[in-house]
C-alpha cells in the first residue's frame, strides 16, 4: 500500500508526478540536513554502525545504578556516566559532604548518605558498599544495575600499590614488599581494622558480601552469585572494557556517543609491579579466593552474553568505538593525548588525586582552554573528585531553587535525617 502523501490528484500527468517526487525528495533531504546540522555531532549515531538497525529506536534508558568497585577501571565508567547524565539532564545521586566523594564507604550504603540537593536521582555511580534495600529505597523502580570486575591478580597488585599508606595490613609489611605480604598474609592482616577491605576479597566486600567467609564453604559463593545475578543486568570486565561498553550500549539503548571515553586513574609505569611469576599469581588468587571464584564465574557469563552477538557486528561496533574514541582524543588533544604526572598538569582541576608519595596517578592536560566546544574535552579528562564536586555544585544550584529541605547529616553520618519525599519506601 502506498503512503498517503504519495497519492497524487488524478489529473496530474506523469511528468509532473516525477517533478513532484523530485521536489519532495529534495525537500525532505534538505529538512533532514537542516535538522542534522542543528544537533551536529561528528561521531555517528547508532544505526550506521549497529548491525541491528532499530526501526524505531527505543528510548535511551536513563535510570542506572553503577556499583563503582575499587581498582577496576570504575572511574572511567563513572566519568562516562556523569557525562551522559549531563547531556541528558539526568539527576545524579552524589554523596553528602560528610561522606566525602564516596557514599561514606566502607559503611554499608544508606540512602541517608545522599546529598539532598541530588534527590530524586536517576543515576548513581560513586563508590559505595552495595546494599540492595537502601538502593531500592533511593532509585526508581526501572533502575538497571551494573558493575565492573577486574581479574584479581592485576586488581590486587593495583590495590596493594594504591593503598600502601592507607591500609594498615600493607603498611605493616617490611619495605612494602608484596612478596613478603603474600608469603604470610595473616601475619599482617587484621580483618577488624579500618580499611582492611582493601587487602582481602575487595570485590566481595564492595558487592556487600562477607570477604572473610571461608572459601571451604561450598554453599556461600554460589548463593551470593545468584543474588548478584538477580540484581545486576550487566557485570562488565575491566580487561574487556570495550566489549563491556558494547554490551552496556545495547542494554541501555544508548548511542555510540554515550560510550566514548579516555582511560582515567592510571598509575604511571614506574608505579606498577610486573607480576610475571605464576607462583605469585597463584598466591594472590589463593589469598583472594572468593574474589577469584567470583571473577571466574562472571568471566564465563560475560563471554556467554557476548557470544549471543553476531561476531561480525561485534567487530564492527568495536572498530567504530575505537575510531570514535581516537577521533575524540585527537580533537581534544590536537593530536595524541599526553599522560602527565599530576604536578605537571597546569590546570589544577585536571590533577588526579594522589593516594601517597609512593605511587603516581597520571592524568591529562588539555592544550589551551576554550569556550563551549572544549567543555566535553574538559569533562572527558576530569578526575573523579573534581567531577563529583562540579556536579554537586551544578545540581545544588538547580535544586536549591526548588527549595528541597536541607537536613544535614551528623558528622559521622549516623543520625537519621528525615526521609526525603522522593526516597521510596522499600
Ligand X SMILES: Nc1ncnc2c1ncn2[C@@H]1O[C@H](COP(=O)(O)OS(=O)(=O)O)[C@@H](OP(=O)(O)O)[C@H]1O
Choice between 93 and 159, CB closer to ligand X: 159
* Window 198-237: contact mask with ligand X (x via CB under 6 A): ----------------------------------------
If DSSP codes are grouped into helix, strand and coil, which group holds residue 124?
Answer: strand
Q: Number of residues in contact with ligand X, rule: CB under 6 A?
A: 15
Q: Which of 81, 111, 178, 264 binds ligand X (CB under 6 A)?
A: 264
Q: What is the DSSP string of 240-300?
A: GHHHHHHHHHHHHT--GGGG-----SEEPGGG------HHHHHHHHHHTHHHHHHHHHHHH
Q: Is the peptide bond before 120 cis (omega within 30 degrees of 0)?
A: yes
Choice between 227 and 268, CB closer to ligand X: 268
Name the segment binding ligand X (CB under 6 A); options: 101-109, 262-270, 325-333, 369-377: 262-270
Among residue numbers 58 through 97, which ones bind ligand X (CB under 6 A)? 70-76
Provide the angle, in degrees to the nearest 10, between the axes of the packed helices 289-307 and 278-287.
100
Least CB distance to ligand X at residue 264 (A) = 6
First to last CA, the chain: 52
386 interacts with ligand X by CB under 6 A: no
102 interacts with ligand X by CB under 6 A: no
Choice between 201 and 404, CB closer to ligand X: 201
Provide the angle, in degrees to the nearest 10, between the axes of the packed helices 311-333 and 241-252.
100
Name the segment binding ligand X (CB under 6 A); options: 25-33, 224-232, 258-266, 302-310: 258-266
Q: Which of 241, 254, 295, 333 binds ligand X (CB under 6 A)?
A: 241
Choice between 145 and 241, CB closer to ligand X: 241
Q: Which of 199, 203, 238, 324 binds ligand X (CB under 6 A)?
A: 238
101 interacts with ligand X by CB under 6 A: no
Q: Partners of 267 in the beta sheet?
A: 361
Rounded Cα–Cα distance for residues 142 and 314 (Å):
27
Least CB distance to ligand X at residue 396 (A) = 23
Least CB distance to ligand X at residue 267 (A) = 4
Count Cβ atoms within 10 A of the Cβ of residue 385 and give its class: 0-12 exposed, 13-18 middle, 19 or more buried.
middle
Q: Is the peptide bond before 106 cis (omega within 30 degrees of 0)?
A: yes
> Cα-Cα-Cα-Cα dihedral of 79, 170, 355, 409, to 10°?
70
Least CB distance to ligand X at residue 98 (A) = 20
Choice between 167 and 238, CB closer to ligand X: 238
H or E element that contains 18: helix 14-38
Choice between 75 and 386, CB closer to ligand X: 75
Q: Which of 83, 96, 112, 267 binds ligand X (CB under 6 A)?
A: 267
Choice between 264 and 321, CB closer to ligand X: 264
Choice between 65 and 423, CB closer to ligand X: 65
Rounded Cα–Cα distance for residues 238 and 71 (Å):
9
Name the segment binding ligand X (CB under 6 A); options: 97-105, 261-269, 294-302, 322-330: 261-269
Nearest residue relative to ligand X (C-beta): 75
Least CB distance to ligand X at residue 103 (A) = 13
User: Max Cα separation, the chain?
Assistant: 96
Choice between 169 and 404, CB closer to ligand X: 169
Contacts of 134 (CB under 8 A, 6+ apart): 108, 109, 110, 111
Task: Tell me how far CA of residue 405 lies from CA of 116, 139, 274, in angstroms.
Answer: 7, 19, 51
> Cα-Cα-Cα-Cα dihedral of 383, 385, 388, 390, to 10°?
-80
Choice between 164 and 395, CB closer to ligand X: 164
Choice between 70 and 285, CB closer to ligand X: 70
Task: Tell me how far CA of residue 75 lies from CA of 30, 186, 400, in angstroms.
Answer: 42, 30, 28
158 interacts with ligand X by CB under 6 A: yes
> For the chain, how big is the Rg over CA atoms in Å?
25
Least CB distance to ligand X at residue 155 (A) = 8
Least CB distance to ligand X at residue 169 (A) = 17
Least CB distance to ligand X at residue 199 (A) = 14
80 half-sphere exposure, CB direction, 13 A CA radius: 26
Applying CB under 6 A, the residues found at the interface with ligand X are: 70-76, 158, 238, 241, 263-267
Amino acid at each position: 500500500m502506498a503512503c498517503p502523501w504519495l497519492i497524487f490528484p488524478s489529473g496530474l500527468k506523469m511528468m509532473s508526478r516525477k517533478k513532484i517526487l523530485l521536489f519532495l525528495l529534495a525537500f525532505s533531504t534538505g529538512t533532514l540536513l537542516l535538522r542534522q546540522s542543528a544537533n551536529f555531532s561528528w561521531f555517528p549515531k547508532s544505526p550506521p554502525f549497529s548491525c541491528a538497525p532499530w526501526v524505531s529506536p527505543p528510548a535511551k534508558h536513563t535510570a542506572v545504578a553503577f556499583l563503582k568497585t575499587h581498582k577496576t577501571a570504575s572511574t572511567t565508567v563513572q566519568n562516562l556516566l556523569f557525562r551522559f547524565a549531563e547531556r541528558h539532564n539526568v539527576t545524579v545521586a552524589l554523596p553528602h559532604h560528610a561522606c566525602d566523594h564516596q557514599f561514606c564507604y566502607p559503611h554499608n550504603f544508606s540512602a541517608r548518605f545522599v546529598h539532598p540537593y541530588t534527590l530524586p536521582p536517576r543515576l548513581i555511580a560513586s563508590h559505595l558498599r552495595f546494599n540492595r534495600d537502601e538502593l531500592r529505597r533511593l532509585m526508581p523502580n526501572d533502575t538497571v544495575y551494573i558493575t565492573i570486575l577486574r581479574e584479581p591478580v592485576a586488581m590486587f597488585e593495583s590495590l596493594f600499590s594504591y593503598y600502601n599508606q592507607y591500609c594498615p595490613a600493607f603498611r605493616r609489611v617490611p619495605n612494602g614488599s608484596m612478596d613478603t605480604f603474600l608469603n604470610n598474609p595473616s601475619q599482617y592482616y587484621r580483618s577488624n581494622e579500618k580499611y582492611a577491605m582493601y587487602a582481602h576479597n575487595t570485590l566481595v566486600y564492595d558487592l556487600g558480601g562477607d570477604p572473610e567467609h571461608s572459601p571451604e564453604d561450598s554453599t556461600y559463593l554460589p548463593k551470593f552469585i545468584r543474588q548478584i545475578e538477580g540484581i545486576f543486568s550487566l557485570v562488565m570486565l575491566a580487561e574487556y572494557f570495550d566489549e563491556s561498553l558494547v554490551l552496556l550500549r545495547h542494554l541501555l539503548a544508548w548511542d555510540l556517543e554515550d560510550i566514548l571515553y579516555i582511560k582515567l586513574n592510571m598509575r604511571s609505569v614506574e608505579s606498577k609491579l610486573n607480576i610475571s611469576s605464576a607462583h605469585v599469581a597463584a598466591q594472590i588468587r589463593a589469598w583472594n579466593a572468593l574474589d577469584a571464584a567470583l571473577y571466574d564465574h562472571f568471566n564465563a557469563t560475560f563471554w556467554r552474553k557476548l557470544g549471543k552477538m553476531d561476531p561480525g557486528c561485534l567487530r564492527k561496533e568495536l572498530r567504530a568505538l575505537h575510531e570514535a574514541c581516537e577521533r575524540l582524543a585527537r580533537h581534544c588533544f590536537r593530536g595524541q593525548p599526553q599522560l602527565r604526572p599530576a604536578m605537571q598538569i597546569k590546570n589544577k582541576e585536571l590533577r588526579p588525586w594522589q593516594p601517597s608519595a609512593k605511587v603516581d596517578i597520571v592524568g591529562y592536560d588539555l592544550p589551551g582552554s576554550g569556550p563551549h566546544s572544549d567543555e566535553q574535552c574538559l569533562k572527558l579528562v576530569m578526575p573523579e573528585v573534581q567531577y563529583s564536586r562540579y556536579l554537586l555544585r551544578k545540581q545544588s544550584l538547580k535544586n536549591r531553587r526548588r527549595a528541597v529541605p536541607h537536613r544535614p547529616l551528623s558528622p559521622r553520618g549516623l543520625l537519621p535525617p528525615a526521609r526525603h519525599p522522593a526516597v521510596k519506601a522499600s
